[in-house]
Chain A
Amino acid sequence: MQSGDAMTVKQIFNEMSYGPAPESAAEAMDWITTHAPFGHWINGQFTAPGDVFDSKNPANGKVLAQVTQGSAADVDSAVKAARRAQPKWAKLPGHKRAQYLYALARLVQKHSRLLAVTETLDNGKPIREARDIDIPLVARHFYYHAGLAQLLASEQPDMQPLGVCGAVIPWNFPLLMLAWKVAPALAAGNTVVLKPAEYTPLTALLFAHISREAGLPRGVLNVVTGDGATGAALVDHPDVNKIAFTGSTEVGRKIRQATAGSGKALTLELGGKSPYIVFDDADLDSAVEGLVDAIWFNGGQVCCAGSRLLVQEGVADRFHAKLRARMDGLRIGDPMDKCIDVGAIVDPVQRAQIAAMVEASDGDKYQVPCPDGCFYPPTLITGLGSASPLMQEEIFGPVLVSMTFRTPVEAVELANNSRYGLAASVWTENVNLALDLAPKVKAGVVWINGSNMFDAAAGFGGLRESGFGREGGWEGLLAYLRPKGDAKPLKPVARAAEPANAEVSEFDRTAKLHIGGKQARTDGGYSQAVWSPRGKLLGHVGLGNRKDIRNAVEAAQSAKVWGKTTAHLRAQILYYIAENLSARAEEFAGRLKDMTGKPGAAEVEASIARLFTYAAWADKFDGAVKSVPIRGVALAMNEPCGVIGAICPDEAPLLGLISLMAPAIAMGNTCVLVPSQAYPLAATDLYQVLDTSDLPGGVVNIVTGAHGDLAKPLASHMDVDAVWCFGAANLSAVVEREAAGNLKRTWVNHGRVTDWDHAEGRAFLRAATEVKTIWVPYGE
């Protein structure tokens, strides 16, 4: 029965080798060749192919199909189709949209092997991963969002869809990232134009084709293929209401800049250099196995890959030895083989980049043998310090870098010594240590004794230069919704002009800046007179400059222990501020009347009520325990953003400032506030109220001055974690553009009026917090 030079059963019996276990490509190739060359999927059908490019199988370099390079006109035609379809789609009852999403989930399951094989052919990931991880997660995402569509109207009655959503997705999880964008967008009543990655367009086209079997109305889902230029055309398209992007930090930054001031909603899932922390009391063998899933899953081409190993010094040598032994057992090769652990790198360009980064690195490199072609060997680099470039830079390949730490404090310090903040793993058998560390690590997702766990019910997303926004859960869905109603454009508010005949009171009152709990002179030494509409000199305010912003941010950073105080204490202080403001209500009302010429009593009363609102909320904006499919819990913890910079509105000089300050500090943030430019004295009067209310110095810092001068240094400051802008219309663009530097979260008015009398509640609390998902598997 043996033929040629194949091994006999007896030989295999003696050697116990694995042998080939190929998955068949026949059905997938059949689908591809039937439909190639591919056009786009617009308005429920394939368009005729245009200028085409090759989509290749990275494992063997062979061309799989030709795919159309999307032009600006193609994008426009897709956006138009999506726009036409959107109102009707949004008007469908949630139950009807739920049915469509349910049908898509079922279709993903019914065509699961076709999708998995096509994914592996196009991307090079092992068929096991496509089959056992990607595709089941895709189906799960559509099931979960069918549920959200069903419940949306009753659970979020005041929200409406954004409109047309543009999705630009990466090549590492082509279909899963499609699901992460398309499912919530459709559930919320939006329509979608999706631009898959240039390297991996096929499963998006296949999914679109399959969507016909769900009866999905024409134009609800459109797919335009192409390279970065196609993506840019989508990002720049004026009739797109939201861009959801997953990809590199570099491109994410460009998208942030490109969309600044456009009014487009934006969520970004970007790069990472996620720490994988191993304590000496961990189950080291399990931690080694966890690393296989952390850094060799999808060849390390994973944004949340546990790529930065931090191991406690006393066990480091033993751990590295175990890890090297485990690496020797990894099987690298043909991703279509069912017995392969690490497949191909997506493209030779990526492979060359990984190789160059490793080549240039210091440290001791350990690599295991790997086939020729577009493969890169699993690599461990030990003996690095935090100053080594590869401890900081994302490699996006199967390369693990390692260094040691001594204490839990040092572990946190090293973990957070990064521009990124996507995910983290913590390995210890000590529940006290694990649950102490999880909140301290700067990351959107923390896995205790695990790695790379995902579920549609649990929010996923990052901080810092890993982007902003969450995908999954209600928190993810909210990124595809906006409040009902359309706000009017904001009218400019001009300060009272200098009168011809000045009326000057006998006492000079000079308001300085409020920084670190003290009154501080401006750095520049310039002041501005504040006049009443009737020509009375009300006082002077300092004209803050960029250095004052710097000092205020420094003070806010130093006061960050505020975030670790109890919510009960923060509530008490907010009540106390309200009490002290109430005691001086008349004076503040008079001040508002002097500045604006309108009665101020109601605004003061509303401000006091608002302080009460957030004192109430301080200990009630609860997190959640997510129903994820593991034995364990996924905690969604609402954590403070950190330092929030806010440009406060002119139209409600006291209430507007309080409406921003109160939720920020209630949630444990510290803040730098730039008060109304036209009517700044209500804010400067507030210094004394804050000082007498036990608010620790530095929690609230106030820098007066010209919004136009202060917006840029505040929004571009690398140590500010979020920036809000409710100032003049033209500032939104400045703030969004400048925020691109460290990719901080922004919340701006886009030049629209805010109804400050009613501007309170969950939207403000959500803006003041980051959802951190902490996965805690358990069981003894």
Chain B
Amino acid sequence: MHSERTATPTTAQTGAANTLPQLTHARNEGMPLDLDWVASVQANTSAIERRAATLPGRRTVKKDYQAAWLCKAISCIDLTTLSGDDTAGRVQRLCAKARHPVRADLLAALGMEGLTVGAVCVYHDMVETAVRALEGSNIPVAAVSTGFPAGLSPLHLRLAEIGESVAAGAREIDIVISRRHVLTQNWQALYDEMRAMREACGEAHVKAILATGELGTLRNVARASLICMMAGADFIKTSTGKEPVNATLPVTLTMIRAIRDYQDRTGIKVGYKPAGGISKAKDALVYLAMMRDELGLPWVQPDLFRFGASSLLGDIERQLEHHVTGAYSAANRHAIG
């Protein structure tokens, strides 16, 4: 499992512009539900929190390394707008930012011309607009489907919504699971629901949003992660961004350890997407370090790792300008998305 940590990543030679989407790993086809495995999963909250709390003190990157890692973070961003007041104009603006996330002079100074974000993430109704706006960029559009964010609309409608989003051109579908299945430990129902959604996605990649802030315990997070992977999730994702608590480092550690166990058992690599609450460049670096140290290099590439974030990019832009010029930057010097 750990051999990947030292192996040269498959994407190393490819330029930033044509890295997306990466399909270098076999898709997760899932496996039969294994309840014994689920029952054996443990998550010690205090110990997980200690690891999460000390990681920022153990790992750091400086100077060019920091700039490169921040560029990597940009390449992993699912640039997102999920608001009731989204309009075509708003989404087009966001897509333009996705194509040009950083001022051209800064990218030139860094030697990182052509850098784009990982994907653009919108509601179903905005998929077509986004797909058109991103034409030729190779940046995929992700849609939040399945009655986002609560996931409490009828199952057949949620499945139908997936189909429509795929038909509209979404290459990635972020689904939400039924939290009630986790809270009542109804693992079979969770598995069946995830399976059905995976089927509905077809060729589109599916990210399973666990809404970890509503699952009560890290043990539930670990078990739900495992079930979704067994049922064929390509990615597991923390949050809709609408729960009271979104992505945290302890939740991340719990979920990516589940990914590691799944890979140990099946050989399949499942991706991870923390979403919500990550707004600082420094936080992004900690997430990347955690992915790199716990899972290895394949998981610091956009095909296996994404940030669900809207304001993170702005902070990274300021840090990059500081790196290039030596002077601290200001928000008004960077185009808003």
Chain A residues at the B interface, C-beta cutoff of 8 Å: 1-2, 6-21, 128, 131-132, 281-287, 289-290, 321, 324-325, 328-329, 338-339, 341, 429, 449-450, 630-632, 777-780
Indicate if the CB atoms of A13 and B16 lie closer than 8 Å. Answer: yes
CB contact between A329 and one of B9, B49, B293, B324 (< 8 Å): that residue? B293
Instruction: Given A19-B61, A281-B42, answer yes or no on A9-B112 (Cβ-Cβ < 8 Å).
Output: yes
Q: Mark B246-259, 1 if CB is under 8 A from A, else 0.
A: 00000000000100
CB contact between B61 and one of A21, A325, A779 (< 8 Å): that residue? A21
Residues of A within 8 A of B288 (CB): 16
Indicate if the CB atoms of A7 and B42 lie closer than 8 Å. Answer: no
How far is the CB of A132 from the nearest CB of chain B, in Å? 5
Instruction: Given A9-B111, A325-B1, A338-B60, answer yes or no on A19-B46 (Cβ-Cβ < 8 Å).
Output: no
* Nearest A-chain residue to B296, judged by Cβ: A329
User: 19 A-B contacts, Cβ less than 8 Å apart?
Assistant: A2-B64, A7-B64, A9-B110, A9-B111, A12-B69, A13-B71, A14-B11, A16-B9, A16-B68, A16-B69, A18-B61, A283-B47, A283-B48, A285-B257, A289-B47, A329-B5, A450-B47, A777-B46, A780-B219
Indicate if the CB atoms of A429 and B42 lie closer than 8 Å. Answer: yes
* Nearest A-chain residue to B40, judged by Cβ: A281
CB contact between A16 and one of B45, B219, B257, B300 (< 8 Å): that residue? B300
* Nearest B-chain residue to A329, judged by Cβ: B293
CB contact between B65 and one of A19, A290, A631 (< 8 Å): that residue? A19
Q: Mark B31-49, 1 if CB is under 8 A from A, else 0.
A: 0000000000011111111
* Nearest A-chain residue to B289, judged by Cβ: A18
Count, A-B residue pairs, CB within 8 A: 126
Q: In the docked arrangement, what's the CA distance between A396 and B186, Å?
A: 49
Q: In the docked arrangement, what's the CA distance between A278 and B324, Å?
A: 49
Indicate if the CB atoms of B16 and A16 lie closer than 8 Å. Answer: no
Indicate if the CB atoms of A19 and B43 lie closer than 8 Å. Answer: no
Indicate if the CB atoms of A12 and B59 lie closer than 8 Å. Answer: no
Chain B residues at the A interface, C-beta cutoff of 8 Å: 1-2, 5-6, 8-9, 11-13, 16, 42-51, 54, 57-65, 67-69, 71-72, 75, 109-112, 217-219, 257, 260, 264, 288, 292-293, 297, 300, 324
* Nearest A-chain residue to B264, judged by Cβ: A321
Indicate if the CB atoms of B72 and A13 lie closer than 8 Å. Answer: yes
Residues of A within 8 A of B46 (CB): 449-450, 630-632, 777-779
* Nearest B-chain residue to A17, judged by Cβ: B65
* Nearest A-chain residue to B6, judged by Cβ: A328
Indicate if the CB atoms of B9 and A132 lie closer than 8 Å. Answer: no
Indicate if the CB atoms of A20 and B62 lie closer than 8 Å. Answer: yes
Q: In the docked arrangement, what's the CA distance between A642 and B42, Å?
A: 37
How far is the CB of B327 from the nearest CB of chain A, in Å? 15
Instruction: Given A1-B109, A16-B297, A16-B300, answer yes or no on A9-B71 (Cβ-Cβ < 8 Å).
Output: yes
Indicate if the CB atoms of B47 and A449 lie closer than 8 Å. Answer: yes
Q: In the docked arrangement, what's the CA distance between A166 and B46, Å?
A: 39
Q: In the docked arrangement, what's the CA distance between A1 and B9, Å?
A: 25
* Nearest B-chain residue to A369, judged by Cβ: B6
Q: In the docked arrangement, what's the CA distance between A285 and B295, Å?
A: 12
Residues of A within 8 A of B8 (CB): 15
Residues of A within 8 A of B43 (CB): 283, 286
How far is the CB of A769 from the nearest CB of chain B, in Å? 28
Indicate if the CB atoms of B58 and A341 lie closer than 8 Å. Answer: yes
User: For A13, A284, A341, A780, which residue has the most chain B Cβ atoms within 10 angstroms?
Assistant: A13
Going nearest first, the 6 A-B pairs with the smallest beta carbon separation are: A19-B65, A12-B68, A286-B47, A777-B46, A325-B2, A283-B44
How far is the CB of A422 from the nearest CB of chain B, in Å? 21
How far is the CB of A438 from the nearest CB of chain B, in Å? 16
Indicate if the CB atoms of A10 and B111 lie closer than 8 Å. Answer: yes
CB contact between A779 and one of B49, B62, B63, B260 (< 8 Å): that residue? B49
Indicate if the CB atoms of A15 and B51 lie closer than 8 Å. Answer: no
Q: In the docked arrangement, what's the CA distance between A391 and B217, Å?
A: 38
Main SS at interface, chain B: helix
Indicate if the CB atoms of A128 and B47 lie closer than 8 Å. Answer: no
Q: In the docked arrangement, what's the CA distance between A780 and B144, Å?
A: 30
Q: In the docked arrangement, what's the CA distance between A329 and B297, Å?
A: 11
Indicate if the CB atoms of A16 and B292 lie closer than 8 Å. Answer: yes
Q: In the docked arrangement, what's the CA distance between A321 and B1, Å?
A: 9
Indicate if the CB atoms of B292 and A284 lie closer than 8 Å. Answer: no
How far is the CB of B265 from the nearest CB of chain A, in Å? 11
User: For A18, A282, A321, which residue has the most chain B Cβ atoms within 10 angstroms?
Assistant: A18
Indicate if the CB atoms of B60 and A282 lie closer than 8 Å. Answer: no
* Nearest A-chain residue to B301, judged by Cβ: A16
How far is the CB of B76 from the nearest CB of chain A, in Å? 11
Residues of A within 8 A of B63 (CB): 19
Residues of A within 8 A of B12 (CB): 14-15
Q: In the docked arrangement, what's the CA distance between A341 and B51, Å?
A: 13
How far is the CB of A317 from the nearest CB of chain B, in Å? 12
Q: In the docked arrangement, what's the CA distance between A13 and B50, Å?
A: 29
Q: In the docked arrangement, what's the CA distance between A285 and B75, Å?
A: 29
Q: A6-B64, A9-B111, A13-B75 are in contact. List 17 more A-B contacts (CB 8 A).
A: A2-B64, A2-B111, A10-B68, A12-B65, A15-B8, A21-B61, A282-B42, A286-B44, A287-B47, A328-B2, A449-B44, A449-B46, A449-B47, A631-B46, A777-B46, A778-B46, A780-B217
How far is the CB of A393 from the nearest CB of chain B, in Å? 29
* Nearest B-chain residue to A285, judged by Cβ: B257
Residues of B within 8 A of A281 (CB): 42
Residues of A within 8 A of B6 (CB): 328
Residues of A within 8 A of B44 (CB): 282-283, 286, 429, 449
Indicate if the CB atoms of A13 and B58 lie closer than 8 Å. Answer: no
* Nearest A-chain residue to B41, judged by Cβ: A283
Q: In the docked arrangement, what's the CA distance between A285 and B41, Å?
A: 11
* Nearest A-chain residue to B107, judged by Cβ: A9
Indicate if the CB atoms of A21 and B112 lie closer than 8 Å. Answer: no
Q: In the docked arrangement, what's the CA distance between A778 and B63, Å?
A: 39
Q: In the docked arrangement, what's the CA distance between A429 and B39, Å?
A: 13
How far is the CB of A358 from the nearest CB of chain B, in Å? 22
How far is the CB of A763 from the nearest CB of chain B, in Å? 37
Q: In the docked arrangement, what's the CA distance between A282 and B219, Å?
A: 12
Residues of B within 8 A of A282 (CB): 42, 44
Q: In the docked arrangement, what's the CA distance between A779 and B11, Å?
A: 40
Instruction: Given A19-B62, A338-B60, A339-B58, answer yes or no on A286-B5 (Cβ-Cβ < 8 Å).
Output: no
Instruction: Given A2-B111, A8-B111, A289-B51, answer yes or no on A284-B42 (Cβ-Cβ < 8 Å).
Output: yes
Residues of B within 8 A of A289 (CB): 47, 50-51
Q: In the docked arrangement, what's the CA distance between A339 and B9, Å?
A: 22
User: For B9, B48, B62, B217, which residue has the most chain A Cβ atoms within 10 angstroms?
Assistant: B62
How far is the CB of A247 from the nearest CB of chain B, in Å? 28
* Nearest B-chain residue to A330, judged by Cβ: B293
Q: In the docked arrangement, what's the CA distance between A15 and B7, Å?
A: 10
How far is the CB of B184 from the nearest CB of chain A, in Å? 17
Q: In the docked arrangement, what's the CA distance between A286 and B54, Å?
A: 13
